[in-house]
């Protein structure tokens, strides 16, 4: 399709909001080869004043007013897409939150396990020290008992020698 000299089709505005006054919309111009051109563009909902100019002069029948209403099926489809996107984002946010909570819980359990292992190691060390202390005390008591028995036996022998 050829575009007549001076016709500007370069500017584009987002579909979320109307362009400013005297703004431009991206469209296509088709030469009908009979002196007519077909102009196609996608207008946002609302009332629009359309003016097509060629070499700075308006092309009849413009300027003209166009009331672009929302197609209920398109609006329903748009709302369904937006709702699906909101649900997807909400689901992703909930999944991310659940993953974060699970990671926090796992970290909490890991720290608890480390603390428990540290306490158990300290208790085991203390129990071993106590066992060693008791063993030394028993050995010392056995040694004293042995020494006392030896002294008693020596006294008995001395008494027997004296009596003989």
Average pLDDT over residues 25-50: 80
**pTM metric for this prediction:** 0.41
Lowest mean pLDDT among 47-56, 78-87, 108-117: 47-56
More confident residue, 6 or 148: 148
Instruction: Tell me the average pLDDT across 144-162.
Output: 90
Closest by CA to 9, choosing from 34, 49, 47, 39, is 39
Residue 80 has pLDDT above 70, yes or no: yes
pLDDT of residue 19: 45
Q: What mean pLDDT do residues 10-22 have?
A: 43
Average pLDDT of the residues in 102-109: 98
CA distance 60 to 104: 69
């Amino acid at each position: 399709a050829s575009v007549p000299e001076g016709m500007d089709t370069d500017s584009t505005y987002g579909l979320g909001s109307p362009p400013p006054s005297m703004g431009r919309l991206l469209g296509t111009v088709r030469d009908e080869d009979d002196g007519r051109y077909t102009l196609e563009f996608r207008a946002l909902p609302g009332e629009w004043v359309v003016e097509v100019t060629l070499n700075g002069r308006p092309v009849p029948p413009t300027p003209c007013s166009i009331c672009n209403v929302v197609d209920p099926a398109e609006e329903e489809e748009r709302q369904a897409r937006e709702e699906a996107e909101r649900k997807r984002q909400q689901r992703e946010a909930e999944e991310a939150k659940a993953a974060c909570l699970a990671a926090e819980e796992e970290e909490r359990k890991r720290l608890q396990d480390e603390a428990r292992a540290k306490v158990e190691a300290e208790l085991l060390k203390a129990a071993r020290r106590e066992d060693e202390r008791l063993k030394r005390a028993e050995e010392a008591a056995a040694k004293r008992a042995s020494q006392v028995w030896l002294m008693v036996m020596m006294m008995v022998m001395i008494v027997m020698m004296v009596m003989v």
